[in-house]
């Protein structure tokens, strides 16, 4: 069967930014996928924008309303790194809708990938680090709230966050919810400087390379799947672990990223656990180069394909 890839033209909307996050990379990602042989194995699917109700399943209602009515304070916008406007609203709502759709399709097909998403620094009632709404948290919360016995009902979700930055927002949103287990493997001496408590945090020292990093993955992922026994995995496949990343501080090569992603998709396949992937972070001046790093995740997923 074809590999489900979620994409929407609104992912590529240009946003006013105040820092290093250039959202034109999502256009570069879809261009890289379509130019690669993986496109011949793909089923491209457009999501709907997340509803306000869906956003409020993971976020404080007042915060959601203030974001969507462009009422964030200048200090809040600086903390996020993006300035509010109607284009921003479209962009962040479609990204959350895409990750929710990826989760639903993964439950049906075994695997699905969103070409945007991974906004793991967004907390329940504030945004941070270019993240306004936490798309993985929105998707997980909505799937967990499905009525028992529904087509997409799940009881346990595992979030595997391998972005170079800790998934602090996801950790706090689900800190008191034992239906979601959060794993974050990240560079300890990196943003956010004040870490939150995931269910399992593995903080790595700067300079970690392929073999040492893959040892950490191999030693923990299979054991964690046996321990948590999730109905669904959300995988943040950030490529800011790359040795040349602008904001990374780890030292993985492209080959190391491929080995990492193959290990995650392979473990999910072997355990027969559905997996939905989001691209997460990846930074640099050349968006085409950054996109080729994200392409690795789609190439790895294509090896395993849909069930």
* Percentage of the chain exceeding pLDDT 90: 87
Cα separation, 261 vs 71, whole angstroms: 39
Where do the domains of the chain lie, and which CATH numbers do they carry?
3-304 (3.40.800.20)
C-alpha dihedral, 12 to 14 to 16 to 22, nearest 10°: 60
pLDDT at 147: 67
Q: Strands, DSSP E only, in the chain?
A: 3-6, 42-45, 111-114, 157-161, 180-187, 200-204, 232-236, 275-278
Q: How confident is the model at residue 19 (pLDDT cuts 50, 70, 90)?
A: very low
Interval 77-95 mean pLDDT: 85
pLDDT of residue 283 exceeding 50:
yes
pLDDT of residue 70 exceeding 60:
yes
pLDDT of residue 18 exceeding 50:
no
Q: pLDDT tens, 23-64?
A: 578 999 999 999 999 999 999 999 999 999 999 999 999 999
DSSP 205: P
pLDDT of residue 96 exceeding 90:
yes
Q: How confident is the model at residue 306 (pLDDT cuts 50, 70, 90)?
A: low
User: Would you give the end-to-end CA distance of the chain in angstroms?
Assistant: 7
Q: Determine if residue 280 is left, alpha or beta; phi over 0 gives left, psi from -120 to 50 gives alpha, anything else beta.
A: left
Q: pLDDT tens, 98-149?
A: 999 999 999 999 999 999 999 999 999 999 999 999 999 999 999 999 866 6
Interval 294-299 mean pLDDT: 98
State the SS3 of 235-298: EECCCCCECCCCCCCCEECHHHHHHHHHHHHHHHHHCCCCEEEECCCCCCCCHHHHHHHHHHHH
- Contact between 158 and 233 under an 8 Å Cβ cutoff? The reply is yes
Nearest to 277 by CA among 251, 300, 255, 256: 300
Interval 72-82 mean pLDDT: 91
pLDDT at 307: 60
């Amino acid at each position: 069967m074809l590999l489900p890839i979620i994409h929407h033209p609104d992912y590529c909307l240009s946003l006013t930014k105040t820092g290093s996050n250039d959202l034109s990379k999502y256009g570069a990602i879809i261009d890289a996928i379509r130019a690669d042989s993986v496109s011949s194995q793909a089923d491209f699917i457009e999501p709907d924008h997340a509803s306000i109700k869906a956003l409020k399943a993971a976020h404080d209602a007042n915060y959601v309303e203030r974001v969507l009515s462009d009422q964030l304070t200048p200090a809040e916008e600086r903390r996020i790194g993006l300035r509010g406007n109607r284009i921003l609203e479209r962009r962040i709502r479609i990204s959350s809708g895409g990750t929710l759709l990826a989760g639903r399709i993964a439950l049906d097909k075994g695997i699905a990938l969103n070409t945007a998403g991974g906004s793991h620094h967004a907390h329940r009632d504030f945004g941070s680090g270019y993240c306004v709404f936490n798309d993985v948290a929105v998707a997980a919360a909505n799937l967990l709230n499905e009525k028992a016995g529904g087509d997409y009902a799940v009881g346990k979700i595992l979030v595997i966050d391998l972005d170079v930055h800790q998934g602090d927002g996801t950790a706090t949103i689900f800190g008191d919810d034992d239906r979601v287990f959060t794993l974050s493997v990240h560079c300890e001496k990196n943003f956010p400087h004040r870490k939150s408590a995931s269910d399992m945090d593995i903080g790595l020292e700067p300079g970690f390379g392929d073999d040492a990093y893959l040892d950490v993955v191999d030693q923990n992922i299979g054991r964690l799947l046996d321990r948590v026994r999730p109905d669904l995995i959300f995988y943040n496949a950030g490529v800011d672990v790359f040795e040349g990343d602008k904001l990374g501080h780890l030292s993985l090569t492209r080959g190391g990223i491929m080995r990492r992603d193959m290990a995650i998709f392979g473990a999910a396949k072997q355990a027969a656990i559905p997996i939905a992937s989001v691209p997460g972070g990846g930074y640099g001046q050349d968006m085409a180069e950054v996109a080729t790093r994200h392409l690795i995740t789609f190439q790895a997923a294509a090896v395993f394909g849909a069930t």
